[in-house]
Each structure stands twice: as structure tokens, then as C-alpha cells.
Structure 1
Amino acid sequence: MTEFPIEMLHRFCPMHAVLDSTGHIVQAGPTLHKVGGSDLDGKRFLEIFEIYRPRSVLSMADLLKAEGRKLHIRLRGGVRTPLKGVLSANGRGGGVINLSFGISVIDAVRDYALTSTDFAPTDLAVEMLYLVEAKSAAMDASRSLNTRLQGAMVAAEKRAFTDTLTGLHNRRAVDQVLDRICRSGQPFSLMHIDLDFFKQVNDTMGHAAGDHVLRCCARAMADTSRKDDTAARVGGDEFVIIYSTLTNRNRLSDLAGHLISRIEQPIPFEDQVCNVSASIGIYCSNGSEQDPARVMEQADVALYAAKRAGRAQYCFFEDQEDRSVTADPSAIAGE
């Protein structure tokens, strides 16, 4: 084998090792020093590196017999990155073995802090690294874009189910929640709330005052509902609260009375005071699958029974044989 200058081997085969007839490393390329250690020279190659395929390579003589064959190699200690190698004999019992990382090049770059200067100028691994970096950058950009798109979708969906004036849910959200809860057979109750004397506020003080009143009343309804409940504005001055799993009439009476009391508090606006109240119709489910439209209809009937009872009242819908609606006696009594 023709001997090549050390500088040439270093340039074109930065992961080579020149072995003498006893298998000791005479010289090693700069990248191999990074991988196997800076003190490789003078050590037996097979004491630093393990050839695990073919398994029969245990000595320098075995290495020479495997000349030209692809060898699967790894370090015996430290980071055991898989390597590929091939040996070329020099005719004097020694030879040159050239190593590469193969498909493990990405791990090797990370494990040994390698740069493009640690590879031969013609090594395709460098181009592959650039492709991997480009792909990684593209994937990062794609993930970032997907995150932004998902955030935009969530925000758009939230806007689609939110009343922009009050920040409560809107009619679309009520339809979705009511449909789901009715099909599930889960017990629930629904309050249909209509503001009393709201038209007078709009007519005498203007729509800005009316909007302010709606926002104040919405805060009272949000405070009267729990995390799993749904408070919504479904019309101009109409609201709905769906109470999940709550059907206790005493508790609902307390909530309705408290809500009416909150809404009846004078609402300052600029240098004036707005006064409104609320009438409430309450429907309680019986724990079976129900029709959402029928639920809203029954709550609506109870609402107008409350208005007929003198406003600022709440009434329960009672599904009797004649489907009449009665106002809760305690409500009419003003309790």
C-alpha cells in the first residue's frame, strides 16, 4: 500500500487510525481523537474499540483477514456510539482503518460536540446534517404555527360562544350545553331570567346606560353560578343559567331570591341611577332524557307566570296532568 502524508490522511480521513503489525495505533485522525480520546497513539486499537460484528475479530491477525469488509465498531467505554469501519492492509502486517458514524452521525455530533470541520469535505454526512437542521427548523416553525393556529381556533370558538357585551355565554352555547345535558339524562335545573323595567332605562337614559345595566346584571349572574354551570345572555335583556346536577328547590329558591336582590340594587351610571329588577322562571329536570326545546318552553312559561305574579318574583314550572303552570307560593308571597 502506498503511504500517504499524515496531513492528507487527516484532511480526507479525519477518523482514520494507522495500525502497526501488533495492532497498536501509530497515528489517529483529529476527529477520532475527539471520539476515542486525545491519547490514542501507542494504544492497542482493540483495547479501545470493540468490533461486535463480525464477532470473530479479536486480534490484529483477525483484522487483516477482514480487510475490505464492513466492520461494526463501538467504544469499550464512555459513550458507546455505533461506528462503521473498513481496514486496508499496508503489506507489512499493519494497515489503515477508516471509521464513520453511519446513521448515528446526529447522535455523535451531539455527544462529541462535532462541527463540519470534523468531517471530510466530501463526506455526505455534513450535507445530511444540514438537511436535518433544516428539517428541525421547519418542524419547529410548523409546531409554532400549529400552536398559534390552535390558539386562534380556541379563541375563535370562545368568541363564537360568548356574548361580546357581557362576557357571558350566548344563545349558541346554551343550545349546545342544553342539548348535551338533556341527552345525558343528568339532573339539572334551568333559570330563565328577564329584566323588569329595562326598557324604561333604555328609553329614558339611552343605550349606553342600558349596556351598563346589562353588564352589571351579568356579573351578578356569573357570581350566582358555579364553575360547571352555564350563565348566558340569550336576548336583549333575557338571560339563562343552567345549573348542572342541581335540582333542590330550596337551594334554587335561595339562589333566585339572592339574584333578584342583587339585580334590584340601584346601579349608578354617570350622574344618574338605574333601577331594574328581574323575573325568573325555573325548570327542574326529572333525571331522564328530555327535549331541549321543551325545557326552554317550560322555563319560559314559568317566567311569565312570575311576571303575572307581580314581577321581581321567581316561579317553578310544575308538570301537572293538565300541564298548567303554578307560581311557587313562597315566591308569590315574596319570600
Structure 2
Amino acid sequence: MHLILDRAGKILHAGPTLHKMRDAAQLVGRDLLDVFDIKFPRSLSSQTDLQGIDQTKLRLKLRDAPHTSLKGIMLPMDRTQDRVIVNLSFGISILDGVRDFALTNADFAATDLAIEMLYLVEAKTAAMDASYRLNTRLQGAKIAAEEQAYTDTLTGLKNRRALDTVLTRLLERHASFAVMQIDLDYFKAVNDTLGHAAGDHVLQNVARIMVDETRGLDLVARVGGDEFTVVLPEVSSDEVLRRVGNRIIQRLEEPMPFQGTDCRISASIGTVWIQPGETATMEDLLADADVALYASKNAGRAKQTLYHPELREAANAVSAPAQNDRRHP
């Protein structure tokens, strides 16, 4: 990290570290004041000022970008003062050297205090890299764990926890959305006659069909053995809901081959549509969807029913005599 000058201030030699900072062709043969702007002492403003110089402290700055600041000491190499050496070993900011020129401990003499600083900079860089990699892995593990916590392992759909989270957000925003409660008809018969492997196969096919027949912004969740819920934000009309429900019912009525046997099911749907600005609790919302679902089953299954208050009144009227019978055997 040094320069050797002649009496007129022309650069005769540049150390290897300076070669990394500036190509040798940009240094050797040029005047010192053409390469560096001398900030201190101000008296060194021309080449003639360098002649007959004794030991002098310097503050310099490269004239070309990145205009790195340097500190050093200038002194004659011999009594004839034909040549002058400029020692800059202690004069560069370690951070500037690493950032702008990729300097390492090999660019400084082993006795330089800069070595210790470089070790600290390199150690800090290594520690920051290791910390970044660790944080990246931890963040990835966190995301994976959260995704797993909200996912049904058999079908890949969202689960009850995810459904509750989405419904809570929509209700807090008083948003317009619809909820479909979907129950598979005749699924128990598939399990009983063909086994649980066939049942799993059917559930996975049901999940795929429901995702196919809904939008990317909709939520499809498996909330029980053969129970599913679809949340549809930003619904424009009940006609849209009828079309979506009918497509799902029609697709699910198609036979699902399994090991040479056709599995046959259907689906009953109860739908609630929350209009813009309406308020409701999650419990009431899901209860209303269940009322509409049971109305579909009572109507012969493979149907969709949109909730309206009269359904609740009819359900209460049916349940009241049954409750009285239990109280008075």
C-alpha cells in the first residue's frame, strides 16, 4: 500500500494493493497530483512543492470514482532525496477497502493494525451471512409449519382452523361473501362396501372437483369426514351461487372408478349469502348454512338450498315436537 515518486512527483512504482485499487497503467508514469487530490497539507498544490520535501503527513483523495479517501506519510527514501516514498498502509477505511475494492488481509503487511480490523470485518460478514441463512431456514420452516397447521393432510384442502380464520376476517370487515356447507350423500356406503381406501380416493377426487369448480380467491375446506365448506368472497348475485352449486353437484354425481369398481356419491348443499354491510356471528352464519343443508337433504339430496329465515322457522317447528316428546315420554 505504497507509492515511490521521483523528485518531480512522478509515480515510479505502485505497491500491489494500489494495483488492485487502480490498474498499474493508471498510476505508473503519472504525476501524483493528477491521480490524487491533496487535502492536507494545502501547501502541496503543485509538482514543485514536492521537491526537497521532508517527512510530511498527507490526506489524499482519489480523483476518479469512487473517490476513496486515504491517509499516509511522505518521506525521502535516501539522503539525495531523488526518490520519495508515500506509505498509505494505515490510511484507507477498512470498510471502503472491502466494499469498493474487495481488499483482504493479504493486501496489508502483517504488522499493520488494519489486519485486525479486516479480521473483524470478515468475521462480521461471515456471521451476518450465517445469520441470514439461518433466518431464511427458520422463516421457511415457520411458513411450512403454518401451512401444515391450516391444511387437511388427506385432500390438501384447508381445514377448520383456516376456515375459522378466513370467516373471522370477512365478518370483521363486514364484507359481502357466501358460505356453502356441502355434505356428501352415500359416502358411508362407499366406505362400508369398498373400504377406507376407496373412501380416501373419493375424498381426494371431491377435493379436486371443488377446487376446479371454484375461483382462485375462494376457500375450499374439509371440515369433517365427508363435510366440506366453500367460502366465496365478492359474490354478485344468488344466481352465481346457484350455478356454482349446480356444477359441483353435477360433477360429484359422475362415477369415480376405483380398482375396477365405480364409486357413486352425490352432494347436498346449504348456502348462506351475506350481503354488503350485514352483520352476523360465525356461529349464526354456520348454523344458518346447516339449516339450508338439511333442507336440501330433506328435499331428496343432490340439491342446493339458499338460506332464508323461513327455513329456520320450519326447522324450529319440526324440532319443537321432538323435544316435547323427549320431555314427556
Q: How high is the TM-score relative to the length of structure 1?
A: 0.81
Partner amino acid, structure 1, of 2:283? A
For the pair 1:48 / 2:38, whether they are aligned, the reply is: no
Deviation string 1:248-276 (CA, Å, 9 cap, x unpaired) is 11111111111111111111111222111
What is the aligned partner in structure 2 of residue 204 from structure 1? 193
Counterpart CA distance in 1 for 2:87 and 2:160 is 73
Q: Of residues 299, 308, 312 in structure 2, which corresponds to 1:318?
A: 308
Distance 1:161 1:30 in 2: 60
Cα displacement (A) at 1:290: 2.2
Match of 2:222, as an amino acid?
A: R
**2:228 match:** 239
Distance (whole Å) between structure 1 residues aligned to residue 53 and residue 271 of structure 2: 89
Whole-angstrom distance in 2 between the partners of 1:38 and 1:289: 77
**Displacement of 1:238 after TM fit?**
0.4
Matches within 5 A, 1:180-259: 180-259=169-248
RMSD of Structure 2 on Structure 1 (CA): 3.0
Identity %: 49
Residue pair 1:36, 1:48 contacting (<8 A) in 2 also: no
Which residue of structure 1 lines up, in the alignment, with residue 290 of structure 2? 300
Aligned length: 311
CA drift of 1:91 comes to: 6.8
The more displaced of 228-237 and 247-256 is 247-256
Pairs within 5 Å for 1:58-207: 58-59=45-46, 70-77=57-64, 80-88=67-75, 95-100=84-89, 102-108=91-97, 116-207=105-196
Per the alignment, do residues 58 and 36 of structure 1 end up closer, same or farther by CA in structure 2, a change over 3 Å counting?
farther
| Inter-CA distance 214–128: structure 2 relative to 1 (3 Å threshold) | same
In the aligned structure 1, how far is the partner of 2:267 from the partner of 2:313? 23
3-state SS, counterpart of residue 93 of structure 2: helix
Deviation at 1:203, TM superposition (A): 1.4
Shift of 1:295: 0.6
Q: Displacement of 1:107 after TM fit?
A: 4.1
Secondary structure of 1:231's aligned partner? strand
| Counterpart mapping for 1:280-291 below 5 A | 280-287=269-276, 288-291=278-281
Partners of 2:309 and 2:52 lie apart in 1 by: 96
Match of 1:264 among 253, 264, 279: 253
**Structure 1 pair 103/97, CA: closer, same or farther in 2 (3 Å)?**
closer
Q: SS state of the match for residue 80, structure 1?
A: coil
SS in 2 for 1:324: helix
C-alpha distance in 2 between matches for 1:218 and 1:298: 23
Structure 1, unaligned runs of 5 or more? 1-13, 327-335
Q: 1:123 to 1:269 in 2, by over 3 A?
A: same
State the one-letter code of the partner of 1:306: S
Gaps of 5+ in 2: 316-329
Does the CA contact (< 8 Å) of 1:71 and 1:85 recur in 2? yes
Please tell me the residue identity of whatever aligns with 1:120.
A
CA distance in 2, matches of 1:257, 1:112: 68
Give the SS at the match of 1:46: helix
Structure 2 counterpart of 1:49, one-letter code:
F
Distance in 1 of aligned mates of 2:176 and 2:65: 64
